[in-house]
Structure formats: C-alpha cells, structure tokens
Structure 1
C-alpha cells in the first residue's frame, strides 16, 4: 500500500510539474554559496580578472533555480557549479591578466547555458499554451454537448416550448460555435508552429530572467483558453449575422423553415446541407488568422525576405 501510494504521489507530482513547472525554491542559493572550500581567495581573483563572466554565472545560477522543468533546473545548476569549479582550479587563474583561452571557455559555457535556459522558457510557453487550448477545447465540448443532450428537456421543464424551427436554429448556433472554437485552436497552432522561442522573448520583452518560466506557462494557459472562446464568440456572431439575414454575403443551402416543411428523404438531405454549411462557416470564422494577433506579432510570423 505504501509503495502504491508513493507511486501515485510521484505520478501526480510529475503530472502537476508537467503543467505548472517544478516547485519553486523557497531559499535560492547564491553563487558564493557553492564555492568549494578553500577556494575563496581564488574566487576573489576570479572576480577581479573575469568580472563579466562572474556576473553572467551569477545570473545563470539564479535563472537555473527558476527553470520550468526539474531536469533542466538540476542540470543547469550542476553545470554552473562545475564551470565555476573548473575556473577556480585552473592554473591560468593566477596570471596577472585574463587568459584568452580561459575566457573563451567561460564564454562558450555561458552561451550554452543561456541556450539551454532559453529552450526551457520556450518549453514553458509552448506547454502552457497547449494546456490552455486543451482546457478550452474540453470546455467547448461541454458547452456543445450539454445543450444538444439536455437543452430541450431543460427548457421544457421551465415551461418553454420549442417548435421545429427553434430547435434547428439553436442546434445550428451551438454547432457553428463549437466548430469555430476548434478552428481558433488550429489557427493558433498553425501560427505558433516553431515560434515558441519568439513568444518567450516577447513575454520577457527581450530580456532574460524578467518573467519566471512557470509564470509564462500560467499566462499562456489563460491565453489558450481565451482564444478558444474567441472562436466561439466569433463563429456565433457570424451565424447570427448570416442566419438573421443581416448580412447576405452567403445564402445558406437550407433554412430551418425549409427543413421543417420538408419530409422524408428531402428533410434528411436538407439537414445534411444545413450542418455542412454552418460547420464550414464556423470553422472559417474561428480560423480567421488575425484573431491570433496579440499572441505573436505579425512581423515574427512573416517569412524573411517577404514584405506585407
């Protein structure tokens, strides 16, 4: 029982961390706290000869403790400690001037660490957005299924009587809105394909370490849910504009009155045309690319060498 309970706890913690990120360190360490014993004078010499590299290692050590994924957090911290230890134990640290080879080594390790942490931020953004879109899609399915399954019965219990035309109109609205939500999901996924790193830089205003990756993930989860409901609202607006005759750009192949008046195979064929038309309209309305504006700027999604 204890083993099963531990496995369940580990599974739940892994699932939570994959969505929310690793647990926050309540007592983060500084770079001076990981200097090996007896190397304090060497650390002072290191700061005098390589002040820029020391500052970068300090910043990267702090950023490593805020990484989104636990493995990245652990590996980045270990890498900083190892790089610092290698520098402090290097005989060239005793030279009166900075050694070019040691400087090159430190700069390369710092660049690699920056790339690893930047990828971690991109992972946080991408995962947060995907979770938000999945949550919004599940909520959209519920909004679509509940009225279709129990809407008429609930209205009947409240004393509201729906005729054939009313039923078809309401069903058309919900189906059009639901398909519009999935169109918005696909629109966002297409626009953000391979652009998570650009979005991470946008979230931090181009400066690393301003926004914690876990906060990025939470922000993008909210953004993902919001985009799904944008698709719902847009598709519903288009449905009411077209079905109400306010805008006559498209003429539906079948109307609710025509479906209710027809009978037998003719009604079934008209119903198929009705569903196909409004599903297509809802998807196109939700897929409208400009409704993803604000998640990623148009300039970042424009191909190099092409003007608008």
Structure 2
C-alpha cells in the first residue's frame, strides 16, 4: 500500500547496460557500442530513468524491453545498417513513452493524495472548533453571545466550503492537463532526473497547499462581506437578525455563506498557478504590449 501511494523506492544497486547483456554476447556488445553510439546513449538514459520510476512495473517493463532489444540486435549476423537503427529507435520511443506515462502517474497520484489530505485537514479544522470551541472558550472565561457564535460558525463554514471548492477547481483544470503538468515538473536543468517518488511528494505538498489557499480565501471573503467593507454584495440575513428571530433564518444564513465560501475557494487559481498559462503573457505582448527601447548608451554597449 505504501508503494501505491508513495511510489517504489529507488533501486539500491544501479544497473548498467552491460548487466543486461549475456556473457556470450559480450564481444558483440563492444561492436554495438561502436556502431550505434546515439542509440547506446538513449538506452543508458532510459535504463537510468527506469531505476527511479514511480511504479515497479514500469521498471520491469523498461528493463525487459531493453534486454530484449539488445539480445535481438546482438544476435544479428548482418552488418550494421539503418534498419537496425530504425528498429532501436522505435523500441526506444516506446520505452521513453512508458517512462513519460510513469511520470504522469506520479504527478497525478501525488496531487490527488495531497488534495485528499488537504480536504481531510479542512474538515477537521471545521469540526474541531464547532465541537470543542465553545467549551474551550468557557474554560478561559470567555462567553460568546448569540451573534458572536453565529459569526464564528459562518466563518468556519465558509472556510470548509472554500477548501472543497479549491479541490474541485484543481481537479477540473487537471482532468486533461496532467501530462502538461508532468512536463512542467521535469523541465529545466536537473529536473528530468527527478525520481517518481520525488515528483509525487512535490505534488502532494502542492495539493495540500491549494486546499489551504481555498480555505484562507473563503474566510477572507467572509469577513470582508460580513463586515460590510464591500457593500455591493447584500448579505441576505445577519447574525443580529438570526438572534432576533429565534434562529428562524438560520437556513438562509448557511446557504448563503456556503455558496460564497465555495465560490471563493474555487478561485484559488488567483494564487501562483500550478498550471501557468505561459502563452498568455506572450499573446498579450503580441496584441499590443510595447517593449521600451533601450537607452542609447545601452545600445552602444551591446554593439
């Protein structure tokens, strides 16, 4: 179960291509290294990446495919030629596709686990104050009035719905974009060497972070609207009205703040996005953004 959620641990003993070659094929392997240097490099990179793959089945599949390709080529008695290079390239394309899909699995599973943990933590943060908040304040000698109690309940309710709104927002955007997210996580110097467990752990933290962003946004919107700072949105019922009518308007109160909290949490994308639209900046620049000209002195220095 630990491997299902966190991925398989990296292999303790690293393997090389020579480990996949039978002893009787060792002389032919030396000739293969000299005849196909580009394919040899791709095979070495694929073998190294397979030992850090997220799923153990990916490691076995990649190593078996490389072993089979080597044996097929080394068993050939024909001289080296383009047909052998074409065969190796096709096999390596399949192997690299498996490794790419393994990274997609690591990113998607890590993010889903992070969202689940964040949602569970958000539910806990909602339940604890509701169940133990008033007794704890009573021990401190603090007595909450009717309006104060309803106000705190509204804040926690909005925050909890904001957490679930953030989960839905991330899942909705990620439904068809997990592959893109995986490529973003493995670009840049040294990023492509990240193990599957590292990718899953990174995205698990990102998922928890997203949920708490939605929680905080929902609570902030609640205090802004309930405090009357933004009079554009009219609150249907206030805590004073609820207390004055004997809690008869409580249903309307819950419904309004649950909807506000969910919408606020759904807009967690206001924070730094995990699915950044890099093309939008370039597009806006092309539509009319003007790049300031360099000063004359800078232009002279550049020449």
TM-score w.r.t. structure 1 length? 0.87
The Cα of 1:147 is off from its aligned counterpart by 0.8
Matches within 5 A, 1:39-188: 39-92=25-78, 95=79, 98-188=80-170
Contact 2:8 2:53 in 1 (8 A): yes
Per-residue CA deviation, residues 171-206 of structure 1 (Å, 9 max, x unaligned), is 000000000010011001111112111111111116
Question: How far, CA to CA, are the matches of 1:178 and 1:131 in structure 2?
Answer: 18
Q: CA deviation at 1:247?
A: 1.5
Contact residue 125 and residue 200 of structure 1 kept, 8 A = yes
Tell me by how many angstroms 1:49 deviates.
1.2
Match for residue 253 of structure 2 among 248, 251, 274: 274
Q: Give the aligned CA root-mean-square deviation in angstroms.
A: 1.9
Shift of 1:38: 1.9
Aligned residue pairs total 282
C-alpha distance in structure 1 between counterparts of 2:197 and 2:270, whole Å: 25
Deviations 1:129-158 (A, max 9, x none): 000000010000100011111111111121
Distance 2:145 2:268 in 1: 37
2:242 to 236, 259, 272: 259
Distance in 2 (alpha carbons) for counterparts of 1:73 and 1:135:
28
Q: Would the aligned equivalents of 1:57 and 1:110 in 2 still touch at CA under 8 Å?
A: yes
Q: Aligned equivalents of 2:44 and 2:228: distance in 1?
A: 65
Q: Is the 8 A contact 1:187 1:292 kept in 2?
A: no
- One of 226, 234, 237 as aligned partner of 1:243: 226
Q: Structure 2: how far apart are the matches of 1:196 and 1:220?
A: 11
- For residues 151 and 248 of structure 1, what CA distance do their matches in structure 2 show? 30
- Corresponding position of 2:171: 189
Structure 2 gap ranges (5+): 281-285, 288-303
Q: TM-score, normalised by structure 2?
A: 0.89
Unaligned 5+ runs, structure 1: 1-14, 302-306
